[in-house]
Amino acid sequence: MKKFVFFLNLTAITTFFVLLFSTGTHAGCTKDIDCKGNRVCEKSICVDQGQKESSQKKIIAKDGRFIAYADGTVLDTNTNLMWAAMDIGANINWYNAKSYCENYRGGGYTDWRMPTQNELAGLYDAGKTYTPKCDASPVHLTELIHLTCYCLWASEMRESEAATFCFNFGYRYWIPQSLYYGVLPVRSGK
């Protein structure tokens, strides 16, 4: 019985010190404010809809304006768009691509969608290059986002055509929705 009481008291003391030192009251705190108005020792980035706060997510890499998280998401800090870290991994028609994005659950989020052509174009960076898995033309965007091949579907459509963006040369195209390209889900990171 005495061992249990000692363990309980030790647990209470440990909890007290964890709470004391995690509130930002210890020396060296930069007095940044998190999304809920609490003082924290690191800057935090907020996301909408009562979902996760990026400050709670494990950062695995950074590349300029991009932050990659362990949950398979990449945040573009310039646009505040959150991207899947990988495309679908195959080429599919536009309707299946749209469905894939709407049903994607990466990072535990449920509000993924197909990106616009302009959003995809915003990822294009002629100064960055890597060769995608399809071993075709090199693509020009951060290596934190992995593409299977160089062209992706965009959300815009007109009659039987849909928009695409190709990361090899940064070109925009309108092609039949029945053709096969990749897709990269996006969501608002606010």
Assign 5 to helix, strand or coil: helix
- pTM for the model: 0.71
C-alpha distances in angstroms, 13 versus 5, 28, 126?
A: 12, 23, 55
pLDDT tens digits, one per residue of 167-190: 999 999 999 999 999 999 999 986
For the stretch 55-75, pLDDT in tens is: 568 999 999 999 999 999 999
Q: Is the pLDDT of residue 35 over 70?
A: no
- What percent of the chain is predicted at pLDDT more than 90? 66
Name the pLDDT band for 12 (thresholds 50, 70, 90): very low
Higher-confidence position of 16 and 75: 75
Rg (CA), the chain: 22
Asked if residue 111 has pLDDT above 80, the reply is: yes
| 54-188 CATH choice from 2.70.98, 3.40.50, 2.60.40, 3.10.100 | 3.10.100
Asked if 129 contacts 138 with a C-beta cutoff of 8 angstroms, the reply is yes
Q: Nearest CA to 67 among 90, 50, 42, 88? A: 42
Where does residue 180 rank: exposed (0-12), middle (13-18), buried (19+ CB within 10 A)? Answer: middle
Q: What is the pLDDT of residues 122-148, one digit of tens each?
A: 999 999 999 998 877 899 999 999 999
Closest CA to 68 of 57, 77, 78, 59: 59
Instruction: Please check the confidence at residue 112 and state whether its pLDDT lies above 80.
Output: yes
CATH 3.10.100 domain locations along the chain: 54-188
Secondary structure class of 163 (helix, strand, coil): strand
Rounded to whole angstroms, the Cα distance separating 169 from 152 reads 13
Instruction: Give tens-digit pLDDT for 84-95.
Output: 999 999 999 999
